C-alpha cells in the first residue's frame, strides 16, 4: 500500500513538473501586485491628460502635434469606466467624460456609414491627415463604447454606445468581398487591403458578425486564413508581423479561453506566441544587451528609427534591440509570471528613463542608448485593459462577454463553448 502511494505521488509529481510553467497558477507577491496596480492606475492618467476637454477625443500619442485617434478614444472610454469603478477617478468625472466622448462620436466625429476616420482633429472631430475610414479602429472605438455601456446600464451612455454600434455598416465595409476591407477614403474609395489573415482582426469580425443592424455573414469569420507556423516547438497560428499586440488586442475584450474555433484555442495560441516571442528575442541576447529572460517584448512600437512592426517568429521577426514594455505587460493574462517578472525588472532597473506620469513609455533600446519620450494611446490602452483583466477578477472579459452582440457572434459562428484546462486567475 505504502509503495503504491509512493508510486502514485511520484508519478503525480513527475506529471505536474512536466506541465508548462504558465499553466500553473501564479500569484504575484503583494509588492508585485501593488506595482501592477500602480502601473494600471498611472496608465489611466494618459487618457485623462491627453483627451480633449471639450470633445473627449484622445490623442494618438503624447507627442506635441499628434492628432486624436479613434482607437485610442475607444480605449479611453474603457479606461474611464475602469478608473471610475476602481475609485481612481471620481465616478461623476468618469461618467461625464464617457458621456461627452460618446456624444462627440455620435454627433460630431467624421465617419462614413458609421465607420470612423482613423485620425481626427481633437477639437473639431474632423478627418485629418487624409486618413482612412478605418474598420479596425472603429471596432476598437465601438468595443470601448460597448464596454463602458456595461458599466453604466440604463443610462444615456448605454443608449449612445448602442447607437454608435448600430450605425456602423460593417456589410458595406466588405465591399462585396469575402473579407472586411481595412479602410475607405473619399479619394481612393476602398483600400486594396482586407482583413483576410490572422492578426488583431478577431475583435473586428466578432463585432461585425454580431451586429444587430448591418451584420456580415458568419462566413466572414470562417474564411480568414489561420496560417500555422512554429518556433522553438511553439505551434502558432501567426500574424504576418509576429508583433505581440496582434495576439493581444482582441483578447483585451474577448475571453477566448473557453472558445473553440474548430480545434483552435486562440487564448492558448496567444500564450504560445508570447512564449515564442520571448524566446526569439532571447536568441539575440548575445547581439543585443537589451534582451534577456526578464527583458523581452517585440511588438509594433516607436524605436530609434521610427515606428516599426517589431515581432517574433513565425512572422516578420523584425528586431533591432528595441523592447516595448507595453507588449510585455499586456501579455500578463497569457504569461502572468514572466510578465510580472519583466514589469518588476523594467520598473526597478529603468524607472528613471522609462517610467513617467502615465506609466511605462512606449519603448527603449539599450544598444543605441535610446529611450522613447512618448506614450502611445493604444499601447497605454491595451496595457490598462489587460492589467484590469488580470488584477481585477477578469472584469473586462466578464462585462464584454455578456454583450448580446458577442453572444450572437459566438452562436452564429459555432464557436463551441468548451471549458478549457486554462487556469483562471
Partner 1 sequence: MSQNRRKHFFINKPLQLRFMLAVILPLFLINLVALAGLYFGIWSKILETFSNEQTLNDLVTASRMIEYEQARHPIASQDFSSLSFFRQTEKLGQHQREVFKGILDETNRSLFWKFSLLLFFLAWGTIFISHKIAGPLFRFSKAFNEVEKGDYRSRVTLRKLDEGHPVAQEFNEAMEKTDHLFSDLKVLAQEKDAPQAVAKIKEKLSTIQTSANV
Give me the residue label for grid cell 492589467. Answer: 387
CB of 420 to partner 1, least distance (A): 31
In terms of CB distance, is 192 or 419 closer to partner 1? 192
Smallest gap from residue 318 Cβ to partner 1 (A): 10
Kindly tell me which of 92 and 187 has the beta carbon lying closer to partner 1: 187
Q: Is 102 or 243 the residue whose CB approaches partner 1 more closely?
A: 243
Q: Which is nearer to partner 1, 12 or 130 (CB)?
A: 130
Q: Which is nearer to partner 1, 127 or 271 (CB)?
A: 127
In the complex, the residues that contact partner 1 under the rule CB under 8 A are 61, 63-67, 119, 129-131, 182, 191-193, 241, 243, 300, 306-309
- Name the minimum Å distance from CB 185 to partner 1: 10
* 46 in Cβ contact with 80 (< 8 Å): no
CB of 61 to partner 1, least distance (A): 7
Query: Toward partner 1, which CB reaches closer, 101 or 241?
Result: 241
The 3 state secondary structure assigned to the chain is CHHHHHHHHHHHHHHHHHCCHHHCCCCCCHHHHHHHHHHHHHHHHHHHHCECCCCCCEECECCCCCCEEHHHHHHHHHHHHHHHHHCCCCHHHHHHHHHHHHHHHHHCCCEECCEEECEECCCCCCECCCCCEEHHHHHHHHHHHHHHHHHCCCCHHHHHHHHHHHHCCCCHHHCCCCCEECEEECCCEECCCEECECCCHHHHHHHHHCCCCCCCCCHHHHHCECCEEEECCEEEECCCCCCHHHHCHHHHHCCCCCEEECCECHHHHHHHHHHHHHHHHHCCCCCCCCCECCECCCCEEEECCEEEECCCCCCCCCCCCEECHHHHHCCCCCCHHHHHHHHHHHHHHHHHHHEECCEECCCEECCCCEECCCCEHHHHHHHHHHHHHHHCCCHHHHHHHCCHHHHHHHHHHCCEECCCCCCCC
237 and 272 Cβ atoms separated by less than 8 Å: no
Instruction: Select 130 or 414, whichever has its Cβ closest to partner 1.
Output: 130
Q: Choose between 257 and 308: whose C-beta lies nearer to partner 1.
A: 308
Minimal distance, residue 165 CB to partner 1, in Å:
23
Q: How far is the CB of 238 from partner 1 (least distance, A)?
A: 16
Closest distance between partner 1 and the C-beta of residue 260, in Å?
29
∠ Cα 304 309 312 (to 5°): 110
Nearer to partner 1, 278 or 308 (CB): 308
User: Whole-number minimum distance, CB 135 to partner 1, in Å?
Assistant: 12
Q: CB of residue 239 vs partner 1: minimum separation in angstroms?
A: 11
Q: In terms of CB distance, is 28 or 303 closer to partner 1? A: 303
* Shortest reach from residue 309's CB to partner 1, in Å: 4
Q: State how beta strands 119-120 and 111-112 pair.
A: unpaired
Amino acid at each position: 500500500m505504502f509503495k503504491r502511494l509512493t508510486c502514485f505521488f511520484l508519478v503525480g509529481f513527475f506529471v505536474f513538473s512536466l506541465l508548462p510553467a504558465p499553466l500553473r497558477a501564479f500569484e504575484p507577491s503583494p509588492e508585485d501586485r501593488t506595482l501592477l496596480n500602480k502601473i494600471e492606475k498611472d496608465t489611466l492618467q494618459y487618457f485623462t491628460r491627453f483627451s480633449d476637454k471639450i470633445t473627449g477625443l484622445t490623442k494618438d500619442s503624447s507627442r506635441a502635434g499628434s492628432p486624436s485617434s479613434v482607437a485610442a478614444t475607444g480605449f479611453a472610454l474603457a479606461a474611464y469606466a475602469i478608473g471610475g469603478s476602481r475609485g481612481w477617478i471620481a465616478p461623476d468625472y468618469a461618467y461625464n467624460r464617457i458621456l461627452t466622448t460618446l456624444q462627440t462620436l455620435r454627433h460630431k466625429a467624421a465617419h462614413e456609414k458609421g465607420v470612423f476616420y482613423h485620425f481626427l482633429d481633437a477639437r473639431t472631430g474632423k478627418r485629418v491627415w487624409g486618413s482612412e475610414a478605418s474598420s479596425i479602429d472603429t471596432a476598437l472605438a465601438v468595443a470601448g463604447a460597448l464596454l463602458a455601456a456595461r458599466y453604466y446600464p440604463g443610462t444615456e451612455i448605454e443608449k449612445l454606445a448602442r447607437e454608435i454600434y448600430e450605425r456602423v455598416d460593417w456589410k458595406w465595409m466588405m465591399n462585396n468581398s469575402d473579407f472586411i476591407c481595412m479602410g475607405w477614403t473619399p479619394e481612393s474609395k476602398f483600400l486594396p487591403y482586407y482583413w483576410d489573415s490572422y492578426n488583431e482582426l478577431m475583435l473586428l469580425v466578432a463585432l461585425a458578425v454580431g451586429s444587430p443592424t448591418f451584420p456580415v455573414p458568419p462566413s466572414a469569420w470562417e474564411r480568414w486564413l489561420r496560417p500555422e507556423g512554429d518556433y522553438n516547438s511553439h505551434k502558432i497560428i501567426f500574424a504576418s508581423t509576429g508583433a505581440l499586440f496582434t495576439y493581444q488586442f482582441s483578447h483585451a475584450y474577448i475571453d477566448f479561453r473557453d472558445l473553440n474555433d474548430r480545434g483552435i484555442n486562440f487564448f492558448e495560441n496567444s500564450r504560445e506566441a508570447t512564449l515564442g516571442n520571448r524566446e526569439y528575442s532571447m536568441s539575440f541576447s548575445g547581439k543585443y544587451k537589451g534582451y534577456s529572460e526578464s527583458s523581452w517584448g517585440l511588438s509594433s512600437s516607436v524605436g530609434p528609427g521610427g515606428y516599426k512592426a517589431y515581432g517574433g517568429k513565425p512572422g516578420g521577426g523584425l528586431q533591432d534591440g528595441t523592447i516595448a514594455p507595453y507588449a510585455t505587460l499586456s501579455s500578463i493574462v497569457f504569461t502572468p509570471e514572466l510578465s510580472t517578472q519583466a514589469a518588476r525588472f523594467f520598473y526597478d532597473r529603468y524607472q528613471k528613463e522609462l517610467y513617467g506620469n502615465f506609466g511605462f513609455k512606449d519603448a527603449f533600446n539599450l544598444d543605441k542608448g535610446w529611450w522613447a519620450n512618448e506614450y502611445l494611446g493604444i499601447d497605454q490602452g491595451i496595457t490598462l485593459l489587460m492589467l484590469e483583466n488580470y488584477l481585477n477578477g477578469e472584469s473586462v472579459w466578464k462585462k464584454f462577454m455578456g454583450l448580446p452582440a458577442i453572444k450572437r457572434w459566438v452562436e452564429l459562428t459555432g464557436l463551441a463553448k468548451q471549458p478549457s484546462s486554462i487556469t483562471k486567475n
